[in-house]
A and B are shown apart, each in its own frame.
Chain A
Amino acid sequence: MISHVRTIWLTFLHLFTKKVTIEYPEEKVKLHPRWRGRIVLTKDPDGGERCVGCYLCAAACPVDCIALQATEDENGRRYPEFFRINFSRCIFCGFCEEACPTYAIQLIPDFEMGEYNRQNLVFEKEDLLINSEGKYPGYNFYKVAGINAGVKGKGEGEQEEAPVDIHSLLP
């Protein structure tokens, strides 16, 4: 009984405490850098597209809202021919970012993407691609991959030996 009364009293006192509500459109929320908001495609330090069209983000997506098609340029560099995210389905779980082996796809602290027309929530590559490295600066997948995609030749990578001379039998 006493505890009930005490509860009522303590609740009553909350009338005079500071309110936690942020009055959003007038007052902006401070978001942390790892906030999972709008999805972007980033570029590598050399300005090339980071996405290599590996389809892992699409496979990881629990709502299947990512569709893309990989293609290759004349140097054998893979990139997406189209890259589409249907944000009207996206649940901002961040699995695509987790799955991305090249840091290309990233979720950024921006959630203000409301639209009156649902069709406008379908983002194509031109809408997604930003001219920045995003959260992970300095990484260029093609510098560490084994293939020659016009970024570095065979054996020119940091962790690579010069190509084998197949005509030699020396150990």
Chain B
Amino acid sequence: MPTIYIDNKPYEVKAGKNLLEACLAQGVDIPYFCWHPSLGSVGACRQCAVKLFKDENDTQGRLVMSCLEGVRDGLRLSVNDKMAKAFREQIIEWLMTNHPHDCPVCDEGGSCHLQDMTVMTGHDYRHYDFKKRTYRNQYLGPLIHHEMNRCIQCYRCVRYYKDYAGGEDLNVFAANNKVYFGREKDGVLESPFSGNLAEVCPTGVFTDKTLKEHYTRKWDLTMAPSVCQHCSVGCNTIAGERYGELRVILNRYNGEVNGYFLCDRGRFGYEFVNDENRVKQPVIRNRTSEAVTEPELTTYLQTAMYNSKLIGIGSPRAAVETNFALQQLVGPGNFYKGISEDEAYLTNKVVRILETGTVHSASLKDIEQSDAVLILGEDIWNTAPMMALAVRQSVKKTAYSHAAEQSKLPIWHDAAIQEFVQEEKGFLANITVAGSPLDGIAAYTAYGAPDNLARLGFAIAHELNTSLPVVSNVDDDLINKAKSIAAVLLKAKKPVIVSGISCYSEGVIEAAFNIAASLNTAERKAAICYALPACNSMGLGMMNAPSFDHAVTRLQREQDMTVVIVENDLYRDISSSVLDTFFSKAANIIVLDSLHNRTTEKANVLIPAATFAEGDGTMVNYEGRAQRFFQVFMPANPFIRESWKWLKEMNLYKTQGSNGHNQPPEELLEKLESTSHQFEGISKVTPPHDFTIHGERIPREPHRYSGRTAMLANLNVSEPKPMQDNDSPLSFTMEGFKGIQPSIAIPFFWSPGWNSVQSVTKYQEEPGGHLRGGDPGVKLFHDRQGSEPSFFKGMPESFAERPEKWLVLPQYHVLGSGELSIYTKALEELTPSPSVSLSQQDANRLNVQNGDMLQVNADAKKYLLAVTINKNLCNGVVLVSAGLGEVEGMSWGSWVKVSRCE
């Protein structure tokens, strides 16, 4: 480790870093704008100037930009040098010559990097007497607000949007002192990662438009660490509340998962918490007054729980605690997963593969750092967007490290490396049913029906490991493709295989494993990951329970069953004909959910459940990482409680027990561990509920939280007692531990002098590295080095079209397919109307064109959908928008009739 001297004090720093990173890692503050740990250095803002000295006798020194100077052993620099300080102050003053007088009406105010840096440099007086430059703003869609006057020309936005996220419609225009960041003309930003502009921009040019609807400053939010609910990646978020309403979702850095960024579905898909459609009142139907009070509900449940035969339907979007509490309530033999048999089977397959531990389960960080990625059968752009962003980084970084090796340039030297790289890319083979936006950066793309994709996968596996069976009835084309892909994968050191269950093919999952296991050798560490449909699909999949289809047959066999369904709109996954008979057979239906939906309509008893913002819970993401989301706020409505709390109360009614009220969630998880060993370690996901630091709890509110004695004064001038949290080490006040919180329970990032999100640096071991104390989350799958993989031998036959029938597969939409995120008006606006995609030839066969209406007959239900012709799609397969508009759950992977609508 090289030693550098900062103001004559020696520091041990990590080699290969630039001076700015090194200083920040040592806690030495240097102001900066254009540098970002994920984006590297370009030296655009000139803000991070320090003085560099030749040797200890050099008193003159020279000014350098610390972000563009690498660390060398014995290097001497001065941050506090008078000239360097004056330089930095003047830079800010120049940036400020055109910065408008906007802070009071700017959404960035109070969490603004420019404000922080201005204070840090000490600039406080404007000497410039002339006029300010102005710009016209653009309409950038419903998610991002544009206020160009505030720009300080650091170029971070385009570097993030174009270089990092691969967006093409945000760019820099004009020249000289008129540089403009925006689109060519007004319009919606196309990238589904555009929300990060709000956090990347060091000032208020790009701000969160949904936050603007109910604007709250950072210091006024009650915040808690949370986990995104909208896909299986489980990105870490910070959820902020004010006046009983969820106001904003911010990124919570997790070095292993989402790093600095979130996708738009995750960032903006929070408004369902505040929606009018929330279940607010317990309801017992078929009574004169259906809305019931708590004693009425208790009396009802006491008899219902004690007297009836119960079966429980779990949910892939409910927390582990909730599913387990339901299993406890109804008994292990009566608990069903609440997903279709196909989905349950495939998820189970994924769980079995990952549980063996023969191949490392890849985190997003592993994907980012891999040097070759093979995507087999999954459209991750739409099902797990942040995974797609990670794949993009892998492609980019592989090329960067090649360039760095060849040119001896440091890897952080973004502009120079980018010049060197030009069009070179790392290896990505994107093998999907009908293509995805990642095709643009893929070195290799292939399309086909799921069975054919699986066969290509098996062929690749055979090339890598000849002991595996040869693919039968194969053409040369397939062999050649497989050979070329295998050749690149063999050269890689850290290849990652990405797959998933959205093409409903067992073969694809098996083939992906065969490839990964074949690549995994002592010197080559391969990793694998499977995208799953919902945020806790993995947690549900790991439970030993049959699928929903078994519940249906059970109800046909047995009479007088009471069905308890938690947080699951079954109509999204199961066809309505099956469900309608299921519900008609049930003697009593008790549903716990947070939003009214088609399933809650069927309920005899409807109980309001907390969303992620109002309750605690644990989720297991696609890689088997158990992560805790903390309650953000206590809802004013006392009926809104975590489902697992309701279920535990119901369990007490059933057993007529009186002990065990108000147990913290970790006790439930400990019980889960003792009954199911695959969840070993899950109770350690957070510190226990009575955890304190020096006797103090961790406050959810920043120390400058305002309005404490006035916010509820309109109701009653006497302030209520602060709310108590008995489930977690967090408190609902602004009093408590001040300082760097344990990484698992960071309600917000803040450090003295660093009010903006850039304060995350203070929480990291080094900029862009792991959080101090380790990245949060407990991995439930453990690598077992050297264990012999059990390869899959059977493989599907080549896909054959059928006359008059089409294989129906789901087409997900990155912003629109979320069950909950669609409640956000802005996301709904950006969601396309549901459609059916088919190949050009099939379209010709059916005599339809783009936009024509087509009738799809699935599960005894008819859908009228507009046609989209997808030239990548093979004949005999149709893709139907899943989860959009009126489209309900259907038997994906089955054969349906499609006919022209007359």
Residues in chain A within 8 A of chain B (CB atoms): 52-56, 58-59, 61, 63-72, 78, 84-86, 88-89, 101-102, 118-119, 121-122, 124, 141, 144-149, 154-155, 157, 159-169, 171
Q: Tell me the minimal C-beta distance from B708 to chain A in angstroms.
A: 4
Task: Given A66-B710, A160-B134, decide whether A52 and B105 contact each other with a Cβ distance below 8 A.
Answer: yes
Task: Given A64-B707, A147-B102, decide whether A122 and B133 contact each other with a Cβ distance below 8 A.
Answer: no
Q: Is the interface of B mostly helix, strand, loop or mixed?
A: loop
Q: Is the CB of B178 within 8 A of A89?
A: no
| Cβ proximity bits B708-726 to A, threshold 8 Å, 1 near / 0 not | 1111011011100000000
Q: Which among A55, A119, A124 has the greatest number of chain B C-beta atoms within 10 A?
A: A55
The 10 tightest CB contacts between A and B, nearest first, are: A146-B100, A67-B707, A54-B104, A58-B706, A67-B710, A64-B708, A146-B149, A155-B134, A67-B711, A86-B713
Q: Is the CB of A72 within 8 A of B132?
A: no
Q: List 10 A-B contacts (CB under 8 A).
A: A64-B706, A67-B707, A69-B214, A85-B710, A122-B714, A146-B132, A164-B174, A166-B182, A167-B173, A167-B174
B217 — nearest CB in chain A belongs to which residue? A55
Q: Which residues of B contact A61 (CB under 8 A)?
A: 706-707
What is the bound-complex CA distance between A43 and B132, given in angstroms?
A: 26
Q: Which residues of A contact B707 (CB under 8 A)?
A: 58, 61, 64-68
Q: Tell me the minimal C-beta distance from A63 to chain B in angstroms.
A: 6
Q: Does B800 contact A (CB under 8 A)?
A: no
Q: Is the CB of B173 within 8 A of A166?
A: yes
Q: Does B704 contact A (CB under 8 A)?
A: yes
Q: Which residues of B contact A64 (CB under 8 A)?
A: 705-710
Q: Which residues of A contact B214 (CB under 8 A)?
A: 69
Q: Which residues of B contact A157 (CB under 8 A)?
A: 132, 134
Q: Tell me the minimal C-beta distance from B266 to chain A in angstroms.
A: 25
Question: Which of A58, A148, A167 makes the CB contact (< 8 A) with B220?
Answer: A58
Q: Is the CB of B134 within 8 A of A59?
A: no
Q: Tell me the minimal C-beta distance from A156 to chain B in angstroms.
A: 9
Question: Which of B101, B109, B704, B710 makes the CB contact (< 8 A) with A144?
Answer: B101
Task: Given A101-B103, A118-B717, decide whether A163 and B709 contact each other with a Cβ distance below 8 A.
Answer: no
Q: Is the CB of A160 within 8 A of B131?
A: yes
Question: Which of B105, B135, B178, B709 makes the CB contact (< 8 A) with A63?
Answer: B709
Q: Which residues of A contact B691 (CB under 8 A)?
A: none
Task: Given A64-B707, A162-B134, decide whether A84 and B105 contact each other with a Cβ distance below 8 A.
Answer: no
Question: Which of A119, A121, A141 makes the CB contact (< 8 A) with B104?
Answer: A141
Q: Which residues of A contact B212 (CB under 8 A)?
A: 72
A148 — nearest CB in chain B belongs to which residue? B137
What is the bound-complex CA distance between A118 and B705, given in angstroms?
A: 24
What is the bound-complex CA distance between A119 and B175, given in angstroms?
A: 60
Q: Does B573 contact A (CB under 8 A)?
A: no
Q: Is the CB of A146 within 8 A of B134?
A: yes
Question: Which of B132, B176, B182, B710 makes the CB contact (< 8 A) with A84?
Answer: B710
Task: Given A55-B220, A84-B710, A86-B710, decide whether A146 and B104 contact each other with a Cβ distance below 8 A.
Answer: no
Q: Is the CB of A147 within 8 A of B100?
A: yes
Q: Which residues of B contact A119 (CB under 8 A)?
A: 716-717
What is the bound-complex CA distance between A59 and B103, given in angstroms?
A: 14
Task: Given A164-B135, A164-B180, decide whether A145 and B105 contact each other with a Cβ distance below 8 A.
Answer: yes
Q: Does B150 contact A (CB under 8 A)?
A: yes
What is the bound-complex CA distance between A165 and B177, given in angstroms?
A: 11
Q: Is the CB of B243 within 8 A of A102?
A: no
A122 — nearest CB in chain B belongs to which residue? B713
Q: Which residues of B contact A101 (CB under 8 A)?
A: 103-104
Q: Which residues of B contact A168 (CB under 8 A)?
A: 174, 178
Task: Given A59-B219, A159-B131, A168-B178, decide whether A124 and B714 contact each other with a Cβ distance below 8 A.
Answer: yes
Q: Which residues of A contact B709 (CB under 8 A)?
A: 63-65, 86, 89
Q: Tell me the minimal C-beta distance from B312 to chain A in angstroms.
A: 42
Q: Which residues of A contact B175 (CB under 8 A)?
A: 169, 171
Q: Which residues of B contact A164 (CB under 8 A)?
A: 133-135, 174, 178, 180
Q: Does B300 contact A (CB under 8 A)?
A: no
What is the bound-complex CA distance between A118 and B709, given in angstroms?
A: 13
Q: Is the CB of A89 within 8 A of B104?
A: no
What is the bound-complex CA distance between A55 and B713, given in angstroms?
A: 17
What is the bound-complex CA distance between A78 and B217, given in angstroms?
A: 14
Q: Is the CB of A70 within 8 A of B215?
A: yes
Q: Does B136 contact A (CB under 8 A)?
A: yes
What is the bound-complex CA distance between A57 and B243, given in angstroms?
A: 18
Q: Which among A85, A122, A149 has the greatest number of chain B C-beta atoms within 10 A?
A: A122
What is the bound-complex CA distance between A141 and B103, given in angstroms?
A: 11
Q: Which residues of B contact A78 (CB under 8 A)?
A: 104-105
Q: Is the CB of B710 within 8 A of A89?
A: yes
Q: Which residues of B contact A124 (CB under 8 A)?
A: 714
Q: Is the CB of A122 within 8 A of B717?
A: yes
Q: Tell me the minimal C-beta distance from B185 to chain A in angstroms.
A: 11
Q: Is the CB of A163 within 8 A of B706?
A: no
Q: Which residues of A contact B137 (CB under 8 A)?
A: 148, 154
Q: Does B147 contact A (CB under 8 A)?
A: yes
Question: Which of A66, A70, A141, A161 makes the CB contact (< 8 A) with B134?
Answer: A161
| Cβ proximity bits B96-129 to A, threshold 8 Å, 1 near / 0 not | 0001111111000110000000000000000000
| Cβ proximity bits B577-620 to A, threshold 8 Å, 1 near / 0 not | 00000000000000000000000000000000000000000000
Q: Tell me the minimal C-beta distance from A157 to chain B in angstroms.
A: 8
Q: Is the CB of B135 within 8 A of A166?
A: yes
A55 — nearest CB in chain B belongs to which residue? B217
Task: Given A67-B713, A171-B176, decide whether A160 and B132 contact each other with a Cβ distance below 8 A.
Answer: yes
Q: Is the CB of B174 within 8 A of A166?
A: yes
What is the bound-complex CA distance between A67 and B709, given in angstroms?
A: 8
Question: Which of B102, B105, B174, B711 makes the CB contact (< 8 A) with A169?
Answer: B174
Q: Tell me the minimal C-beta distance from B715 to chain A in angstroms.
A: 9
Task: Given A84-B710, A146-B134, A166-B180, decide whether A59 and B150 contact each other with a Cβ distance below 8 A.
Answer: no
Q: CB within 8 Å of A: which of B199-219? A: 212, 214-217, 219
Question: Which of A52, A63, A69, A169 makes the CB contact (< 8 A) with B243?
Answer: A69
Q: Which residues of A contact B704 (CB under 8 A)?
A: 59
B707 — nearest CB in chain A belongs to which residue? A67
What is the bound-complex CA distance between A157 and B134, given in angstroms?
A: 10
A120 — nearest CB in chain B belongs to which residue? B717
Task: Given A159-B132, A161-B133, decide whether A66 and B716 contact each other with a Cβ distance below 8 A.
Answer: no
What is the bound-complex CA distance between A145 and B105, given in angstroms?
A: 9
Q: Which residues of A contact B136 (CB under 8 A)?
A: 154, 163
Q: Tell me the minimal C-beta distance from A163 to chain B in angstroms.
A: 5
Q: Which residues of B contact A149 (CB under 8 A)?
A: 105
What is the bound-complex CA distance between A122 and B713, given in angstroms?
A: 7
What would 7 more interface pairs be, CB under 8 Å, given A56-B104, A78-B105? A59-B110, A101-B104, A119-B716, A145-B100, A148-B137, A161-B134, A163-B134
Q: Tell me the minimal C-beta distance from A6 to chain B in angstroms.
A: 52
Q: Is the CB of A84 within 8 A of B706?
A: no
Q: Which among A84, A147, A167 has the greatest number of chain B C-beta atoms within 10 A?
A: A147
Q: Is the CB of B706 within 8 A of A147?
A: no
A100 — nearest CB in chain B belongs to which residue? B104
Q: Tell me the minimal C-beta distance from B714 to chain A in angstroms.
A: 6
B705 — nearest CB in chain A belongs to which residue? A64
Q: Which among B103, B180, B708 has the greatest number of chain A C-beta atoms within 10 A?
A: B708
What is the bound-complex CA distance between A104 and B215, given in angstroms?
A: 19
Q: Which residues of A contact B105 (CB under 8 A)?
A: 52-54, 78, 145, 147, 149
Question: Which of B99, B149, B174, B718 makes the CB contact (< 8 A) with A154?
Answer: B149
What is the bound-complex CA distance between A18 and B105, given in angstroms?
A: 54
What is the bound-complex CA distance between A61 and B367, given in angstroms?
A: 48
What is the bound-complex CA distance between A122 and B133, given in angstroms?
A: 44
Q: Tell me the minimal C-beta distance from B208 to chain A in angstroms.
A: 14
Q: Which residues of A contact B147 (CB under 8 A)?
A: 146-147
Q: Which residues of A contact B717 (CB under 8 A)?
A: 86, 88, 118-119, 121-122
What is the bound-complex CA distance between A163 and B174, given in angstroms?
A: 13
Q: Tell me the minimal C-beta distance from B554 to chain A in angstroms.
A: 51
| Cβ proximity bits B675-713 to A, threshold 8 Å, 1 near / 0 not | 000000000000000000000000000001111111101
What is the bound-complex CA distance between A106 and B401, given in angstroms?
A: 60
